Amino acid sequence: MGTIETTLVFLLGMASASGQNAPAEKMLMAEDVFKNVQVLKGIPVNEFMETMGFFAASLGYNCTNCHVQQSLANWAKYADDIPVKRRARGMILMVNAFNKANFGGRRVLTCYSCHRGLGIPKVTPSLAEQYGMPVDDPNEVEITDPDAKDPTADQILDRYIEAVGGKESAARLTSLIAKGTYVGYDTDSVKIPVEVFAKASGQRTMIVHGPLGDSTTTYNGRSAWIAGPDKPVPVLSLPPGADWDALKLDASLSFPGGIKQALTQWRVGFPATTIDDRDMDVVQGTTTGKSRVKLFFDRKSGLLVRLVRYADTVVGIVPTQIDYSDYRDVSGVMIPFKWTVTWTDGQSTAELNEVTANVSIDEAKFAKPVAPVAQQRSTLQ
């Protein structure tokens, strides 16, 4: 699967609860930042970038399959009009028209429906696929028994809280400062330093210290930002929506005791599934923005192994998977020291080597990020 090499990194860390009286920031739309946007106008920049990831996953493409090679070193070159981009616009309009004519406008058909990771859809059935061993994707498990009662969502979540140290120990965990390493598509597989600052009040910031400048993600309960040298704008304010919900959820799950309050409309009744040959209990919750989130708990240990969340875009649903491992005791609470984030544009892994709990954290750590020096520009216009 190809990766969009300059995509937004909106996963992993989040942050803060300051600036309660600050005026609302103007949310940038795709056409405010990028030139030559014709079909995907009127959507926030972060959603626009997610549509690029959806195309990458659907067709097995990377940036230069749809854009000129020079675009990797020059953001402005992404605006160049080439035949494959014109074809993509036509396909988006075709799919939209098909859904409107046949499904009342519901997005039933998408790029992935036909392409399935191929640039050109197959037209001949595959006997190897038809008669071969099926490959199950645990992320695709769906509810089959809405009346399932055993175990209940409360029982699974309570078992998780006990597994991490118990309700009382979890309640005593109020802040975290962590240091470690980060590696991913955006670092050319080179490990670089990372820091995480979090408070149980819903504040969390993650700073990746790259050679070209820091990449920072901050969430404060009211405002969310990302900043970095590989972003389309120096500091991007995220609007309420799926990404906003994702940041809020990541901040909440930094402190296991708040897991029940992190989501609502908990549901169980999923078919049996495994991850790495381990049996899982699967629970689905809903964010305030009505996005689905699935949590996979190891049936033996009770610990959270995986989270899958879904961002709804104008071209399709984009999944993000976070795998948690290497749980260690921090002030009586088991915390994952390693998490791997996989999304349609790439994969990254953070590994902590030092975590300090219940310490004072300067509120400045949760303020709006400052743009890296290399990114002192207003837009790509």
Structure confidence by residue, pLDDT tens digits, 33-43 = 999 999 999 99
Instruction: Tell me which residue range forms the domain holding 237.
Output: 138-375
CA–CA distance from 194 to each of 134, 215, 350 (Å)? Answer: 39, 9, 8
CATH number of domain containing 294: 2.50.20.10
**Distance, CA of 143 to CA of 147 (rounded, Å):** 10
Q: Both 60 and 165 in a single domain?
A: no
Would 94 be classed as within a structural domain? yes
Q: What is the pLDDT of residue 89?
A: 93
Q: Say how many domains are in the chain.
A: 2
DSSP state of 140: G
Same domain (yes/no): 243, 346:
yes
Task: Among 104, 131, 158, identify where a domain stops.
Answer: 131
Amino acid 18: pLDDT: 36
Per-residue model confidence (pLDDT) at position 4: 35
Q: What is the pLDDT of residue 221?
A: 80
**Distance between start and end Cα atoms, the chain:** 30
- Rg of the chain over all Cα atoms, to the nearest angstrom: 21
The pLDDT, as a whole number, for residue 373 is 61
Query: 149 with 127, same domain?
Result: no
> Does 296 fall in a domain?
yes
Residue 24 pLDDT: 61
**Below-50 pLDDT ranges, the chain:** 1-22, 375-381
> Are both 159 and 230 inside the same structural domain?
yes
Res 12: pLDDT: 32
Which tens digit of pLDDT belongs to each residue from 148-207? 777 999 999 999 999 999 999 999 999 999 999 999 988 888 999 999 999 999 999 999
User: 248-260: b or e for each residue (b if 16 or more CB lie within 10 Å)?
Assistant: bbbbbbbbbbbbb
d(CA 259, CA 144): 24
pLDDT at 378: 38
Tell me what pLDDT residue 115 has: 94
The pairing of beta strand 235-237 with beta strand 346-357: unpaired
In terms of domains, do 160 and 261 share one?
yes
Q: 124 and 148 share a domain?
A: no
Q: Are residues 189 and 310 in the same domain?
A: yes
The reply to whether 381 falls in a domain is no
